[in-house]
Structure 1
Amino acid sequence: MKYKNVVEGIFIKRNNRFVAEVFIQGKREPVHVKNTGRCRELFIEGRRVCLEKSANPNRKTACDLIAIEKLELASDNQWINIDSVVPNAVVEEALRQGSIEALRDFTLLKREVTHGKSRFDLYYEKGDQKGYIEVKGVTLEKEGISMFPDAPTVRGAKHCRELAALQEEGYRNFIVFLVQMEGIGEFVPNEEMDPSFVGALREAQKQGVVVCAYNSIIRKDEIKIGDPIRTTL
C-alpha cells in the first residue's frame, strides 16, 4: 500500500487524540494523527516523522502523520507505521496477491461486511469454506516483542466473542494482527493493559478461530505485509 506526496518532519508534541504539532521544513504545523491510540512510547519530541500531504485544500490540517522513527527498535529500519486505517488495506492486498497461505485461492473477498448487528473487516469464500477476518494493527513493541492493545478495547473483545460464536455456525474465521514495523519475531496479547480482550481472544482460539500475526515491510511511503511471526497466547 503506497502513500502519495510524503514528506519528512520533526515531531514536537501531541495536542490531543487527533492533532499533533510537527516541524515541516522549519515551519511549525498542526497535523492530523491517523491513530487514536495512546502511542506514548512513540510520540517523543525530536523524532523524525513521515507525513502524507492532503489533496484537500480546505482541511484544517494539511498533512496526515503516518509513520514515526523509534530509535529503540532493534532493526536496521526504525520506522513504525502508525496509520490505524491502513492495516485492512494491507491485509486485503496480501490476500489478493496470495501472500497469506491459509487463504489462498479464495473465490470471493469483500470488505466491511455486516452479519446480524456486527460488522467485520473482511468476508471470504473458498470453495465450501466461508468466514470473516478481523484485522488489528499493532504499533506497540517492548524488547523486540509486539503487543496489542496499547489501550483497552471493548470493541476488540466484542469482535473476538462474535467470531467465536460464528465458528459454531460453521464459519471459519481469522484474526490477523498486522505488526506495523520490521524486525519483529513474536506477537503476544497485552494482558496487563486489557485482560478482558486477552481472555476473549484466547477463548476465540479455543473455539477454532485462527489467530495469526505478520510483520511488515516499511518504507517512508509504503507498507506491505511481511513474514508470519510466532504468536504466543
Structure 2
Amino acid sequence: MDFTPPLQKGTLLKRYKRFLADVKLEDGSEITIHCPNTGSMKNCLFPGETVWFSTSDNPKRKYPHTWEISATPEQHLIGINTGRANALAEEAIKSGVITELSGYANIKREVKYGDENSRIDILLSDDTQPLCYVEVKSCTLLEQTVGYFPDSVTARGQKHLRELMHMVSLGHRAVLLFVVQHSGINLVQAAEHIDPQYALLLKQAVNSGVEVLAYQTEISATSSIITRSCKVIV
C-alpha cells in the first residue's frame, strides 16, 4: 500500500477528545489532525516525537489531515490508522503473502454474518472448500518485547470471538488475523492483564477450532505492506 499523495510530517503535541491530535509542523505552525484510532493507544503516544499524516481533498471534511504513523523514542514506527489493517490484509491475501489464506477464488469485505449483528472483515470463498471468515485486528501495543491485543477492554472484540466460534460450529473456517502495525513487535499474545475475558475467549476459540495468525507490517513514510508472519502465543 503506497501513500498517495505522500505523507507529511510534524511533531506530536498531544492527543485529545479521542479523535483529535495537535501537531507542530516544520515551519513552526500548529494544526489539528484526525486520529483514526478508537483504542487507548497505550504506549503509542509520544509527544515530541515525529508523526506522519495524510491529507484528503474532500472539502466537506472539518479536519482534512489524518494521523497515519508515529515514531517512538526508540525509533520504531507504529501504524496509527487502524482502518488500514483490513486493506493491508486483503492486499497480502491477494498477493499470496499470507500463505495460510491462499487458494480462494473470491474475496469480499464487510459481509454481514453471525448471531450478534456483526460484519466479518474479510470473507473468502471457493467452490472447492468451506467458507473462510477472517476477523482482522490491528496490534500496536508493545510492552517489554511482546505485542499485546487489545490495548483496552473490548466488548466488540469479545463478540467477534464468539461469532468466529459459531462459524466453526457451522462447519466453516474461521481465522483471527493480527496485523502487527509496530516495527518493534515480533511476538503477539492476548493482553490478559488488560482484558482477561478476551484472553479467556481467545483460548476457548482456539480450542474450538478458530485459527489465529499474526503478520508483521513493514512501515515507512511512503508505504505500508505486510511482509512476514510472526509468532502468536495463546
Provide the secondary structure at the position in 2 that maps to 1:231. strand
Measured in 2, the distance between the counterparts of 1:78 and 1:136 equals 20
C-alpha spacing 1:70/1:54, structure 2 compared with 1 (3 Å):
same
State the aligned residue count.
229
RMSD between superposed Cα atoms in Å: 1.3
Question: Corresponding residue for 1:190?
Answer: 191
Question: Corresponding residue for 1:101?
Answer: 99
Question: Corresponding residue for 1:67?
Answer: 69
Q: Answer yes or no: is 1:156 the counterpart of 2:157.
A: yes
Percent sequence identity over aligned pairs: 33
Unaligned runs of 5+ in 2: none
Match of 2:84 among 86, 94, 97: 86
Provide the secondary structure at the position in 1 that maps to 2:22. strand
- After superposition, where does 1:148-227 map in structure 2 within 5 Å? 148-227=149-228
Unaligned runs of 5+ in 1: none
Measured in 2, the distance between the counterparts of 1:218 and 1:184 equals 12
Runs of 4+ in 1 over 4 A off after TM superposition: none
Give the TM-score, by structure 2 length. Answer: 0.93
Contact 1:79 1:219 in 2 (8 A): yes
Provide the secondary structure at the position in 2 that maps to 1:206. helix
Measured in 1, the distance between the counterparts of 2:99 and 2:85 equals 18
State the shift of 1:183 in Å: 4.3
Provide the secondary structure at the position in 2 that maps to 1:173. strand
Question: Corresponding residue for 1:44?
Answer: 46
Contact 2:216 2:229 in 1 (8 A): yes
Q: Answer yes or no: is 1:119 the counterpart of 2:85.
A: no
Measured in 1, the distance between the counterparts of 2:131 and 2:225 equals 25
State the shift of 1:227 in Å: 1.2
Matched to 1:60, the amino acid is: K
Contact 1:183 1:215 in 2 (8 A): no
